[in-house]
């Protein structure tokens, strides 16, 4: 029970720091691009993929035309569309390849990543940085583990990409509220678009 509470505290502290670091103009760019998009396609792998799909559900509730790449009903992407990618490292091959393909087909790319110098960030029209531990950070930590222990540095309690993924989810939930306000949608409007076969 003690470790669980410590981990939750660590995650909350990280999210607070991430919130302070995000610039208002980045949110503004993101919101404007989503509102003006013909359609929004979301993609990520693993837990980052789940975060992108959670965001897609809310965009759908707002009345936007949105698709999760890989679903059998995903239409072709093209001019006027936006591909929204979530990747902590910004180096996941399938995500980078998809972003390159979307750009060739005339779509714009928005990415959320921890590494603004990554391949994904370089391809993207809009990049939002959400700090977190990436695969590269974890490998470095493992390599330098003994040195860190001698210096008395604690490793994070939250495993792998948890800090990035949790921060992304909360950030995107905040973006949904901003979108609601901009396009004049209420929770009642969204509820009308919520799945009702429960």
Residue-wise over 178-193: b if at least 16 C-beta within 10 A, else e?
ebbeeeebeeeebeee
Rounded average pLDDT per 10-residue block, the chain, 198 residues: 81 85 89 97 95 97 96 96 96 96 98 95 95 63 50 60 90 95 92 85
Residues catalogued as catalytic: 165
Q: What is the pLDDT of residue 114?
A: 92
3-state SS class at 13: helix
pTM of the model: 0.86
Domains of the chain: 23-133+161-190 (3.40.50.10490)
pLDDT at 148: 45
Sequence-distant (6+) residues with CB within 8 A of 74 are 41, 67, 68
Predicted confidence at residue 139, as pLDDT, reads: 54
* pLDDT attached to residue 134: 59
Tokens describing residue 127 = 């990049």
Tokens encoding 91? 């180096």
């Amino acid at each position: 029970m003690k470790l669980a509470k410590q981990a939750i505290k660590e995650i909350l502290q990280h999210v607070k720091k991430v919130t302070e670091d995000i610039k208002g103009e980045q949110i503004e760019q993101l919101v404007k691009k989503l509102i003006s998009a013909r359609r929004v396609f979301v993609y990520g792998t693993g837990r980052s993929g789940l975060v992108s799909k959670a965001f897609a559900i809310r965009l759908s509730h707002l009345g936007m035309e949105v698709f999760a790449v890989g679903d059998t009903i995903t239409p072709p992407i093209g001019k006027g569309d936006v591909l929204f990618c979530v990747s902590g490292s910004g180096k996941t091959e399938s995500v980078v390849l998809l972003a390159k393909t979307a750009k060739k087909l005339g779509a714009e790319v928005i990415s959320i990543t921890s590494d603004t110098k990554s391949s994904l960030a370089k391809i993207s029209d809009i990049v939002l940085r959400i700090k977190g531990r990436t695969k590269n950070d974890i490998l470095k930590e493992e390599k330098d583990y003994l040195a860190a222990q001698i210096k008395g540095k604690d490793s994070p309690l939250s495993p792998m990409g948890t800090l990035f993924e949790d921060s992304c989810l909360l950030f995107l939930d905040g973006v949904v509220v901003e979108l609601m306000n901009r396009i004049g949608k209420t929770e009642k409007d969204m509820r009308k678009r919520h799945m009702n076969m429960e």
